[in-house]
Structure 1
Amino acid sequence: MLVTFSSKAGADVLMLSQHAKPVLKIVGKLTGPELESRGVWMPEQLDEAITLLEAAIAQEKSVTVDEDPDEPLHPLAQAVSLRQRSFTLLDLFRRAQQKKVPVLWEAGSAW
């Protein structure tokens, strides 16, 4: 399922639901196992969402893999960090906070 984050402050950010769920849980928008069909961060809630997401990124442990220096890990086999995964969403949050507009998210159909 695809989750779309949108705001008048910038371009839409798209994430697969399996990647969006941890981010939504970090910022307090996912309380159960199921993803709600839509939600919103009002401008006054964005400061807390940004703080929570930045704190989770700072606490993220780096994944260490025993790599052979002669055979580097293929780029597609490397793990994607929370910092990388949430970079554009965090940017959208910051832009929306500056412009004082909400950020909406909506889960698409599971076709």
Structure 2
Amino acid sequence: MLYKFKSKAGADVIMLAAHGDQALQALGRDPAPQGILQSADLASLIAHGEAAIAQEQQAFDRAAEEARAEDRKPPPRPEVTLRQRLWPLLELMRAAQVAGTDVVWGV
């Protein structure tokens, strides 16, 4: 399955199922084959996404600091971080917020 996030405000954002599920969970939403991010909710959804990105970075920084304190090798960074994966969707959501339109998928 693919997620295809669409809005009149910008280009479509396409994600594989696992990545789309992760993105929706970062936004505080349950993964679903169809859905809508209403324009009135976009500000809080964007804030949820940004908070999830910050939490991922803080968790990595803590793990690296603990490893250094114990004279261990720091853990490797993920190949693709949540920041990188979520960025296109957040940009679409910001554009939709400015335009006053919704973001939908699966329709």
Q: Which TM class, normalised by the smaller chain length?
A: 0.7 to 0.9
Size of the aligned set, in residue pairs, is 92
CA deviation digits over 1:10-48, x for unaligned, max 9?
000000011111111122321xxxx42200011101011
Cα distance in structure 1, aligned partners of 2:36 and 2:104: 4
Q: Which residue in the other structure is 1:27 paired with?
A: 27
Give 1 or 2: higher helix fraction.
2
1:1-111 map, 5 Å:
1-30=1-30, 35-61=31-57, 62=60, 64-65=75-76, 79-106=79-106
Q: Which has the higher contact order (CA 8 A, sep 6+)?
A: 1
Separation of aligned partners in 1, 2:104 and 2:76: 37
TM-score between both structures, scaled by the size of structure 2: 0.78
Q: 2-side partners of 1:65 and 1:52: how far apart?
A: 25
Instruction: Identify unmatched segments of 5+ residues in structure 2.
Output: 65-74
Q: CA deviation at 1:59?
A: 1.2
Structure 1 residue ranges (4+ consecutive) displaced by more than 6 angstroms after TM superposition:
none
* Identical-residue share of aligned pairs (%): 41
Structure 1 unmatched ranges of 5 or more = 67-77
Question: Could you tell me the TM-score, scaled by structure 1's length?
Answer: 0.75
Q: Supply the RMSD in Å over aligned alpha carbons.
A: 2.0
